[in-house]
Amino acid sequence: MSALPSLSTATLIALESAFDTPARSLTKSRGKNIHRYVSAKMGKRVTVESFLECAACYHFDFEPSIVRFCSQPIRLSYCLNGKTHTYVPDFLVQFDTGDYKLYEVKSDMESSKEEFHCEWEAKVQGAFGIGLDLELVTEEEILNEVIFSNLKLLHRYASRDHLNDFHQTLLATLKPNGTQTARSLGHHLGLSGRKILPILCDLLSRNLLQTNLETPLSLESEFELVCYD
């Protein structure tokens, strides 16, 4: 596919508006399972219409390169079999580069259907026409057991409060000493494993620390500083 066209002023205005006003208002109805995800990053609830979309929010919330995200962002047009249709993607994200991207979340069963692929390509072309990438996120990617479990821990312990003395001491310890295990950090602060892991998860959620989320978080997990002033 060729380079994306530049975003028009009207599209940029619509994208900015999407973070406050969704293109579709989700309400409970028969066959719909409405979820309200409390976002640490956005500081508000994000309303979605499936468990899978709610699970995707954990990934958006704790991906360091994503500055902000919202659901049901904009209504776009696409052509299929000679007819024009409208469509609202599941999510809009903005990255730290300033770039925007649309995402659609589908179960493995839905995305494997033959009729889905023709319609999907038409939707991708519709998004491309206004200067946006539209990307499919599948159930397999979202519900990776280990990563999803770790992200839920980050969400559980994420706080919007100011850094406390334990946070400050832990970060000050990592600054000169480099990578440390949770066990060694707990020992340095005089904290048990039950107390040190929530602090580490909170700092991970703030993007002040980093670790390998592809293995279960434990006392043997290694943590390193991302940025701290």
pLDDT at 1 over 70: no
At 28, the pLDDT band (50, 70, 90 cuts) reads low
- Provide the percentage of residues in the chain whose pLDDT is more than 70: 96
**What's the rounded mean pLDDT across residues 80-106?**
96
pLDDT at 63 over 70: yes
Closest CA to 53 of 151, 138, 156, 116: 138
Predicted confidence at residue 228, as pLDDT, reads 42
Predicted confidence at residue 33, as pLDDT, reads 83
pLDDT at 45 over 80: yes
What distance in Å separates the CA atoms of residue 150 and residue 135, rounded to the nearest whole number?
A: 24
Q: Which residues of 102-111 are buried (b: 16+ CB within 10 A; e: fewer)?
A: bbbbbeeeeb
Q: What is the rounded average pLDDT for all residues in the chain? A: 93
What distance in Å separates the CA atoms of residue 157 and residue 163, rounded to the nearest whole number?
A: 13
Segment 117-169, tens digit of pLDDT: 989 999 999 999 999 999 999 999 999 999 999 999 999 999 989 999 999 99
Predicted confidence at residue 30, as pLDDT, reads 52
pLDDT at 31 over 80: no
Segment 155-204, tens digit of pLDDT: 999 998 999 999 999 999 998 888 999 999 999 999 998 999 999 999 99
Contacts of the segment 49-56: beta carbons below 8 A, 24+ positions apart: 50/105, 52/105, 52/106, 52/107, 52/139, 52/142, 52/143, 53/90, 53/91, 53/105, 55/142, 55/143, 55/148, 56/90, 56/91, 56/103, 56/105, 56/137, 56/142
